[in-house]
């Protein structure tokens, strides 16, 4: 698939979420809450799917005025009082910045929900706003939009299975994905100078705009320092005391600020799994970044690359009703560790150990923990082995698998 010298690629490249959203709106009455990081493609996706729909952005002054005037005013703008051949789709972007957004959506949906399809998008987690006020329970389904992944590049049309047959990915596309990250513009342009400028701008927007809109944090420069420290400690156990000393804030503030960074899609936490693990680690999580491209250490970058793919998969499977999925790591007090565990309905499903170098031996820790927790599968991913077109989930024993094969079977 071409990722070079194609200025129109961003508009023409299909995303798996196109099928997800159109299927939802065709079969369900509930609103879609589409969340994800800034510049991950939420607006582009919605406008591409529904070019004739109505798009209202809270950051636009005219659109904001219509929303504040109430549901009936928005209904006029969307022509809902006119007989139409088919339902209109309306997109509310960043409406969670409105203090009465839940009350507005509840009234709008209850009054006009049978005449319109509604998508609500936001670059900070809409689910953190569910506390207090009018409940929207039963009126929406949450869908989380992630950056591009190996499978979405090779075969975006997904079927009804969790695990798919492997599909090869072009080497240039894989290298671009690893180097520039999965956010649409830098990945598709694959241009170092553009990437540098895009990364700087995104960081400015995150800390100068999103933090201001989302929280009451005044010490933005200290928060930015914490984010920089987390970037250099990707995949390591979080030591709250050490971070607090370096940033010169309290341990409680470190915990609160990490929650804010997670909510703004800068990072995500992976918790330790402790069921059936003697002397397991109970509290300290690991932190990974939504954009792995800026991580300098190659070992940490490869681990984050896999973490992001697994996070996307468990979110997708959960959001689409396959079950309740979780992403963990496994470690005990003897410091035996496996990088990742994916659970299905709170039961161990498969273990993943990441190896950036050459290895022909299965990790002893992978074998140990597979036996301890009785996971169905155990994979040791190799970045140095070439793609193999065989379903790795057909192998019951712990197996060394090329990373391109494994990732192409996810989402």
pLDDT of residue 216: 82
Query: Which range has the worst mean pLDDT, 132-136, 196-200, 313-317?
Result: 132-136
In a domain, 73, yes or no: yes
State whether 249 and 130 are in the same domain: no
**Comparing C-alpha atoms, which of 239, 233, 237, 263 is closest to residue 251?**
239
Average pLDDT over residues 28-44: 95
User: pLDDT above 70 covers what percent of the chain?
Assistant: 94
Place of tokens 């019951």: 396
State whether 171 and 134 are in the same domain: no
State whether 111 and 87 are in the same domain: yes
State whether 55 and 159 are in the same domain: no
Q: Is 80 exceeded by the pLDDT of residue 3?
A: no
Q: How far apart are CA 313 and CA 190, in angstroms?
A: 24
DSSP 284: -
pTM (two decimals) = 0.93
Cβ neighbourhood burial of 341 (10 Å; 0-12, 13-18, 19+): buried
Average pLDDT of the chain is: 92
Cβ neighbors of 102 (< 8 A, separation 6 or more) are: 129, 133, 134, 135, 136
Give the model's confidence band at 2: pLDDT under 50 very low, under 70 low, under 90 confident, else very high. very low
As a dihedral over the C-alpha atoms of residue 80, residue 82, residue 87, residue 90, rounded to 10 degrees, the angle is -30
Find how far residue 143's CA is from the centre of its chain: 10
pLDDT of residue 282: 65
pLDDT of residue 1: 46
CB 335: neighbour CB atoms within 10 A? 8
Place of tokens 């022509």: 79
Q: Is 60 exceeded by the pLDDT of residue 141?
A: yes
pLDDT, one tens digit per residue, over 271-281 is: 999 887 776 66
Average pLDDT over residues 194-214: 92
DSSP 10: H
Q: What DSSP letter does each residue of 7-26 carry, written as one string?
A: TTHHHH---HHHHHHHHHHH
Q: How far apart are CA 242 and CA 71, in angstroms?
A: 50
Q: Is 90 exceeded by the pLDDT of residue 160?
A: no
Q: Is 70 exceeded by the pLDDT of residue 91?
A: yes
Paired with 343 in beta bridges are 326, 348
Average pLDDT over residues 126-154: 82
In a domain, 3, yes or no: no
State whether 263 and 355 are in the same domain: yes
DSSP 249: S
State whether 252 and 284 are in the same domain: yes
Give the model's confidence band at 94: pLDDT under 50 very low, under 70 low, under 90 confident, else very high. very high
DSSP 280: B
Ranges assigned E (strand) in 218-309: 267-272, 286-289
In a domain, 363, yes or no: yes
State whether 185 and 309 are in the same domain: yes
Q: How far apart are CA 259 and CA 264, in angstroms?
A: 9
Average pLDDT over residues 324-344: 95
Q: Is 50 exceeded by the pLDDT of residue 333?
A: yes
State whether 68 and 117 are in the same domain: yes
Dihedral sign for Cα 224, 226, 227, 231, please.
Answer: positive
Give the model's confidence band at 127: pLDDT under 50 very low, under 70 low, under 90 confident, else very high. low
Give the model's confidence band at 260: pLDDT under 50 very low, under 70 low, under 90 confident, else very high. very high
Query: Which range has the worst mean pLDDT, 128-142, 236-250, 301-315?
Result: 128-142
Q: Is 70 exceeded by the pLDDT of residue 132?
A: no
pLDDT of residue 283: 78
In a domain, 374, yes or no: yes
Residue environment code for 377-408, b if the CB has 16+ CB neighbours within 10 A, otherwise e: bbbbbbbebebeeeebbeeeebbbbbbbbbbb
Cβ neighbors of 371 (< 8 A, separation 6 or more) are: none
Give the model's confidence band at 7: pLDDT under 50 very low, under 70 low, under 90 confident, else very high. very low
Query: Which range has the worst mean pLDDT, 84-93, 134-143, 196-205, 309-318?
Result: 134-143
Average pLDDT over residues 330-349: 95
Most confident region among 86-95, 122-131, 343-352 by mean pLDDT: 343-352
In a domain, 54, yes or no: yes
In a domain, 4, yes or no: no
Q: Find the CATH number of the domain harbouring 131.
A: 3.40.50.300
In a domain, 75, yes or no: yes
Q: How far apart are CA 202 and CA 191, in angstroms?
A: 16
State whether 157 and 203 are in the same domain: yes
Ranges assigned E (strand) in 332-393: 337-344, 347-355, 377-382
State whether 183 and 104 are in the same domain: no
State whether 174 and 263 are in the same domain: yes
Cβ neighbors of 308 (< 8 A, separation 6 or more) are: 146, 147, 149, 182, 288, 289, 290, 292
**Comparing C-alpha atoms, which of 123, 169, 118, 119 is closest to residue 148?**
169
Give the model's confidence band at 12: pLDDT under 50 very low, under 70 low, under 90 confident, else very high. low
Q: How far apart are CA 258 and CA 275, in angstroms?
A: 25
Q: How far apart are CA 323 and CA 281, in angstroms?
A: 26
pLDDT of residue 27: 92
Give the model's confidence band at 409: pLDDT under 50 very low, under 70 low, under 90 confident, else very high. very high
Residue environment code for 212-233, b if the CB has 16+ CB neighbours within 10 A, otherwise e: eebbeeeeeebbbbbbeebbeb
Q: How far apart are CA 274 and CA 2, in angstroms?
A: 44
How many distinct structural domains can be found in the chain? 2
Q: Final residue of a domain: which of 111, 144, 177?
A: 144
Q: Is 70 exceeded by the pLDDT of residue 97?
A: yes
State whether 165 and 131 are in the same domain: no
Q: Final residue of a domain: which of 144, 163, 193?
A: 144
Query: Are 338 and 363 in contact, with CB atoms under 8 Å apart?
Result: yes
In a domain, 1, yes or no: no
Query: Are 325 and 25 in contact, with CB atoms under 8 Å apart?
Result: no
Q: Final residue of a domain: which of 144, 174, 192?
A: 144
Q: What is the number of H-type helices and E-type strands within the chain?
A: 17, 12
Residue ranges making up the domain that contains 236: 153-408
Query: Which range has the worst mean pLDDT, 131-145, 227-241, 376-390?
Result: 131-145
């Amino acid at each position: 698939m071409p990722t070079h010298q194609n200025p129109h690629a961003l508009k023409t490249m299909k995303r798996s979420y196109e099928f997800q959203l159109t299927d939802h709106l065709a079969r369900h009455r509930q609103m879609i809450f589409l969340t994800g990081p800034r510049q991950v493609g939420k607006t582009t996706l919605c406008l591409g799917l529904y070019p004739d729909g109505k798009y209202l952005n809270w950051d636009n002054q005219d659109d904001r005025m219509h929303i504040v005037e109430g549901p009936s005013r928005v209904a006029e703008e969307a022509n809902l009082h006119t007989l139409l051949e088919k339902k209109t789709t309306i997109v509310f972007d960043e409406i969670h910045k409105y203090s009465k957004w839940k009350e507005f959506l509840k009234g709008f949906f209850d009054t006009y929900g049978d005449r319109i399809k509604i998508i609500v998008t936001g670059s900070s987690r809409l689910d953190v706003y569910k506390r207090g006020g009018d409940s929207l329970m039963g009126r929406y389904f949450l869908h989380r939009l992630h950056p591009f992944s190996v499978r979405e590049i090779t075969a975006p049309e997904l079927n009804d299975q969790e695990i798919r047959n492997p599909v090869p990915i072009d080497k240039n596309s894989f290298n671009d994905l690893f180097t520039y990250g999965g956010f649409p513009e830098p990945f598709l342009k694959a241009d170092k100078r553009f990437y540098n400028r895009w990364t700087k701008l995104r960081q400015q927007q995150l800390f100068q705009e999103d933090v201001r809109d989302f929280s009451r944090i005044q010490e933005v420069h200290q928060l930015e320092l914490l984010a920089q420290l987390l970037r250099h400690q990707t995949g390591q156990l979080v030591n709250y005391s050490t971070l607090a000393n370096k940033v010169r804030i309290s341990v409680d503030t470190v915990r609160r600020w990490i929650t804010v960074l997670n909510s703004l899609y800068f990072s995500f936490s992976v918790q330790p799994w402790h069921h059936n693990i003697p002397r397991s680690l109970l509290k300290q999580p690991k932190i990974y970044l939504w954009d792995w491209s800026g991580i300098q250490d190659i070992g940490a970058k490869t681990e984050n690359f896999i973490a992001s793919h697994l996070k996307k998969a468990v979110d997708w499977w959960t959001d689409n009703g396959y079950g309740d999925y979780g992403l963990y790591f496994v470690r005990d007090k003897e410091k035996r560790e496996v990088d990742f565990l994916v659970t299905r309905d709170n039961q161990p499903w498969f273990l993943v150990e990441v190896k950036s170098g050459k290895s022909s031996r299965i990790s002893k820790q992978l074998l140990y923990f597979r036996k301890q927790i009785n996971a169905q599968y155990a994979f040791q991913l190799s970045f140095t082995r070439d793609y193999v077109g065989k379903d790795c989930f057909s192998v019951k024993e712990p197996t060394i698998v090329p990373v391109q094969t494994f990732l192409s079977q996810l989402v």
